[in-house]
Amino acid sequence: MDLAALRDAWVAVCAAAANGRFTLVISSSELRLEASDELSVESVVPIFEVSGLNAGDAYHLDLAEDSFAALAVGDLPEHGSMVIDDFIAEEGFTGILRLEATFTIQCPLTLTAVGIDALTNDPVAGTPVDPRTIRTAVSAIRTFAGEDGAIGYPLSTLQIVGEEARGMSPQACLSVTSDRFKSMELRFRQSCAKPFNVLLGQLKPDRTKLIANETSFVLYDGSIRVTLPGASALPEWPVQKDEIGHIQVAAADFSDAVAIVALQSTARDAQTILQIDEMSDELTLSVAVPGGAATVSCPLLPAIRSQSARIEIPFYAQTLAMFSSPNPEALQIRISSTSMVIEQTAPHEHRKMLIAAYRPQNNYR
Q: CB neighbours of 51 closer than 8 A, spacing ≥ 6?
A: none
Across residues 272-283, what is the average pLDDT?
A: 94
| 245 pLDDT tier (thresholds 50, 70, 90) | very high
pLDDT of residue 362: 46
pLDDT of residue 54: 75
Summarised one tens digit per residue, pLDDT across range 152-210 is 678 999 999 999 999 999 999 999 999 999 889 999 999 999 999 999 999 999 999 99
Summarised one tens digit per residue, pLDDT across range 286-319 is 998 888 888 999 999 999 999 988 999 999 999 9
pLDDT of residue 361: 54
Summarised one tens digit per residue, pLDDT across range 86-116 is 999 899 999 999 999 989 999 999 999 998 7
pLDDT of residue 337: 92
Q: Where are the alpha helices (DSSP H) in the chain?
A: 3-14, 131-141, 193-200, 251-264, 317-320
Measuring CA to CA, which residue among 24, 180, 160 is closest to residue 105? 24
DSSP for 46-91?
--S---SS-TTEEEEEEEETTTTGGGGSS---SB-EEEETT---ST
Question: How large is the angle between the packed helices 131-141 and 193-200, nearest 10 degrees?
Answer: 150
Evaluate if residue 56 carries a pLDDT over 80.
no
pLDDT of residue 323: 94
3-state secondary structure of 275: strand
DSSP for 147-161?
-TTSSSS-TTEEEEE
pTM: 0.87
Evaluate if residue 76 carries a pLDDT over 70.
yes
